[in-house]
Amino acid sequence: MTDKHDSREQFAETFDQEIDPLQKYEGGFRSIGADPFDLFTTEILDQKGKSNTRNNYTIPIDQWTEYMEDAGRHPACPGKRHVEGFVDYQRNELGNSKQTTKQKLIHLNRVYKFWVSEDSLPQDGSYNPFKKVLDDTEWEEDNTKTPPNLSVDDVADVLVTVKHWKHRVIILLMLFLGIRAQEACNIELSELNIQHDELKQQYPELGTHDRLPDGVDAIYFPTRYDREGNKSKNERIMPIPDELKVALVRYLMVRPDNGKPWLLLSHTRHNQMGNSKINEIWKDYFHPQYKYGDDEKYDSITSHFGRHYFTTWFKKEKDWNRELVKYMRGDSIKGKDGDSLDDYVHPYFEDIRERYLEEIYKFGLR
């Protein structure tokens, strides 16, 4: 039987087709100092003016550029095999899920489509290796697998190794509040109320959001309609347990006070942190111990584990009312006794606060 690669070569030669049509532009791109990714950044990302949007592009761009450098090809002129190799690299070496890998390809595809629209660049719409791989790849996850069933002590054993205060805050926010990675990135200082005089002086905007109750440690989460990137349809207010408060105070004491509104700032530029970085932080501490292969029983632990663990704890371990759990998760829910959404947020917070603080897991952190 003829090898697939050989047969493609034969077809291409016979019908005067190019299998790797961008290869011929390799020398041209390397001969000039201009970077086509910078053109995309200037023309598209700088116009959006949102750092979380920028982060969602810069991370896959940086990873793609590094991968292509190792492959010996300029990142602006890939073949389909390079994109397929990048998918394999994301899945098997970086340990990303199919959906995370797909999102990175979607962002790279948008960059490529910009290049196609740019008259000064050689790419055209007749060949797009990113779209080809996106269309040809099976992206559905195996939904039958779940994360490992860890005890509170198991999780605590990992948490005590997290000495970096920002990293500890990130992981604890998601474990204690059941939030998604992007929701963590979107928290603003005004939405975080901590009873701490020194912090109030350092951050005058801390806890000033008008939806927050007075005099208690609490955090407010806007809806998807009020905050780009949030997925919840309903706003909610959550208590802040002691272990999370300790971590938040220690982090905020050393956080760069640069006037940015977000709680979590990126390491280098001190802008809003991107959700991909949050996932990397989870993997840094929970892998390789809780990393699993495709043929193993469990899903590897990623940033989504916090929301899964939180939900399982209150629904199964503590047998909470389904409506209250949905409130804490930000899921769709009707108002109390038919009230409007604006009317139910504070009553629900009052319903859950004392019981939540009593029954939420304690990790014994200092």
Q: Is the pLDDT of residue 353 over 60?
A: yes
Q: Are residues 157 and 125 in the same domain?
A: no
Q: Are residues 331 and 254 in the same domain?
A: yes
User: What's the CA dihedral at 29, 30, 33, 38 to 10 degrees?
Assistant: 50
Residue 361: per-residue pLDDT? 97
Contact between 171 and 184 under an 8 Å Cβ cutoff? The reply is no
Residue 4: per-residue pLDDT? 46
As for how many domains the chain has, the answer is 2
pLDDT tens per residue across span 206-217: 999 999 999 999
| H/E run at residue 238 | strand 236-239
Q: Are residues 34 and 183 in the same domain?
A: no
User: What's the CA dihedral at 80, 82, 87, 93 to 10 degrees?
Assistant: 160
Question: Residue ranges of the alpha helices (H) in 72-97?
Answer: 80-88
* DSSP bridge pairs for 239: 218
Residue 125: per-residue pLDDT? 86
pLDDT (mean) for 104-124: 94
Q: Are residues 72 and 206 in the same domain?
A: no
% residues pLDDT > 90 (the chain): 63
Distance CA(341)–CA(239), nearest Å, equals: 19
More confident residue, 146 or 313: 313
For residue 62, what is the domain's CATH number? 1.10.150.130
More confident residue, 252 or 268: 252
Q: Are residues 255 and 123 in the same domain?
A: no
pLDDT (mean) for 138-144: 68
Looking only at Cα atoms, what is the longest distance across the chain?
Answer: 78
pLDDT tens per residue across span 4-41: 445 656 665 665 567 789 999 999 999 998 899 999 98
Query: Using the 8-state DSSP alphabet, how is residue 227 labeled?
Result: S
Confidence of residue 97 (pLDDT cuts 50, 70, 90): confident
For residue 191, what is the domain's CATH number? 1.10.443.10
Distance of CA 4 to the CA centre of its chain: 38
Residue 183: per-residue pLDDT? 94
Q: Are residues 305 and 182 in the same domain?
A: yes
More confident residue, 183 or 46: 183
Q: Are residues 242 and 322 in the same domain?
A: yes
Examine residue 330 and state whether it is found in any structural domain, yes or no.
Answer: yes
Q: Is the pLDDT of residue 340 over 50?
A: no
**Domain containing 74: what range?**
4-136
Q: Are residues 199 and 262 in the same domain?
A: yes
Q: Is the pLDDT of residue 255 over 60?
A: yes
Q: Are residues 132 and 158 in the same domain?
A: no
Confidence of residue 58 (pLDDT cuts 50, 70, 90): confident
Examine residue 349 and state whether it is found in any structural domain, yes or no.
Answer: yes
More confident residue, 340 or 291: 291
Distance CA(244)–CA(51), nearest Å, equals: 26
Q: Is the pLDDT of residue 337 over 60?
A: no
- Is residue 193 helix, strand or coil? strand
Q: Is the pLDDT of residue 341 over 50?
A: no
pLDDT tens per residue across span 219-229: 999 988 898 88
Q: Are residues 190 and 104 in the same domain?
A: no
Q: Is the pLDDT of residue 232 over 50?
A: yes
Q: Are residues 159 and 132 in the same domain?
A: no
* DSSP bridge pairs for 236: 221
Q: What is the mean pLDDT of the chain?
A: 88
Distance CA(55)–CA(59), nearest Å, equals: 6
By C-alpha distance, which of 274, 353, 301 is closest to 175? 301
pTM here is 0.63
Q: Are residues 182 and 97 in the same domain?
A: no
pLDDT (mean) for 139-165: 88
Residue 33: per-residue pLDDT? 84
Tell which of 92, 109, 136 closes a domain. 136
